[in-house]
Amino acid sequence: MDNLAHKCEIYLNETLGLTVTLTAATARAHLPFYLQSAFTLYELQLPGLDCLVATPQENTEHSPATIKKYFKQIQDVCSQEVIYLTDSIFPHNRKRLVEHRISFVVPGNQLYLPLLGVDFREYFKKVRAKVSKVSPATQVVILFVLTNDITATYTPLSLSRLLGYTPMTMTRAFDELETLGFGEISNVGKERVLRFTEDKRILWEKVLPVLRTPIKRRLWAKHDPANNWHCVQSGLAALAHYSLLAEPKQPVFAMSQDNWKKLANQADVIELPYADNDTCQVELWSYDPFLLAQNDTADRFSLYLSLKDDNDERVAAALEEMMKGMVW
């Protein structure tokens, strides 16, 4: 049994108050090869119900629609309910799994079993009870760690030098992280030291509910910012860079609100109420996108946060594609 299956046993035992065991599923041999290669299957007995637990093979990911199709095929062959087991699920995929009424387990995080009338969200309820959203400075600290070496240690002073904030602002960020239980903060002499023990994917899943879109305002401007604006490519233009999404008609750039205030006083910078020829869309962020940018393009994490609530399914699919391309 792999480690994830063992974690599933412990999680089900703790949350359901039952003694359950996962065993290798013999029914797997009756499935088509493409299903055998897509999932590892386990037998699980729940009160009054025999189930299969399917966990994706290593380096294999499927969309919720594909999981629904595959599980239907497994159920037709095995005549058993199927539960999806994974170590993490992106929020937009979690929503779609629930919409499809696909049972799933994320050990230590969430248990959704509509076949038993169970929807247990341990971690997310706990975080939301403490705080709704983190401050922009704290968010920058988290995203900076996610885009760099997660095993490094930081002090308020070292982060203030790296990110351009005051040591007092970074001290408040440490306080917020400590309240939320993100990372470990210890005292070494007179310094507070921050370190993270999770891997990046787990940290991202944990912090996501309290992160916010960096965008404070969108506007249209008549100017070419390519040469002399302190900005990065963002929005759908950046998403097209990271995925197969088509380029938008107008370029999209992001900059800090403070930088826009300086630019707005220049005679050749004209803000427009609508898109026009030779215009670009400008996103004003609550933090400087250059702090996290990669090759003058918004970082994947900030970009995801800025677009995750877009209702366009093409955007959702492109975001999923972008995050799959992450090197965690």
pLDDT at 118 (0 to 100): 66
Same structural domain for residues 13 and 114?
yes
Among residues 202, 158, 163, the alpha carbon closest in space to that of 182 is found at 202
Tokens of 153: 């240690």
Same structural domain for residues 72 and 160?
no
Last residue within a domain, chosen from 192, 210, 228: 210
pLDDT at 95 (0 to 100): 83
pLDDT at 93 (0 to 100): 82
Same structural domain for residues 80 and 145?
no
Tens-level pLDDT at each residue, the chain (328 residues):
578 888 888 888 888 777 888 898 887 778 888 888 889 999 988 777 788 999 988 656 788 888 999 999 998 888 888 999 998 887 778 888 988 889 999 988 888 888 777 656 554 444 444 457 899 999 999 999 999 999 999 999 999 999 999 999 999 999 999 988 899 999 888 899 999 988 999 999 999 999 999 999 999 987 665 556 788 999 999 999 999 999 998 899 999 988 888 877 765 677 777 877 778 899 999 999 999 999 999 999 999 999 999 989 999 999 999 999 888 8
Residues 216/284, Cβ–Cβ less than 8 Å: yes
Phi, psi of 255, deg, nearest 5: -150, 170
Same structural domain for residues 155 and 266?
no
Which residues lie below 8 Å from residue 212, measured CB to CB, with a gap of 6+? 133, 134, 136, 139, 286, 305
Same structural domain for residues 173 and 260?
no
Within 13 A of 136's CA, how many CA atoms are on the CB side? 15
Model pTM?
0.63
Same structural domain for residues 315 and 280?
yes
Same structural domain for residues 251 and 179?
no
**What is the number of structural domains in the chain?**
3
Q: State how far the alpha carbon of 146 is from the alpha carbons of 48, 200, 220, 271, 301, in Å.
A: 44, 6, 31, 34, 8
- Read off the amino acid at residue 190: K
Pairing state of beta strands 81-85 and 104-106?
Answer: parallel
- Read off the amino acid at residue 256: S
Domain that holds residue 137: 131-210
CATH number at residue 188: 1.10.10.10
Same structural domain for residues 222 and 206?
no
Last residue within a domain, chosen from 126, 148, 168: 126
Same structural domain for residues 27 and 110?
yes
Same structural domain for residues 243 and 204?
no
pLDDT at 127 (0 to 100): 44
Same structural domain for residues 38 and 112?
yes
CA distance 241 to 300: 10
Last residue within a domain, chosen from 210, 231, 249: 210
Same structural domain for residues 137 and 250?
no
Residue 196 CA, chain-centre distance (Å), reads: 17
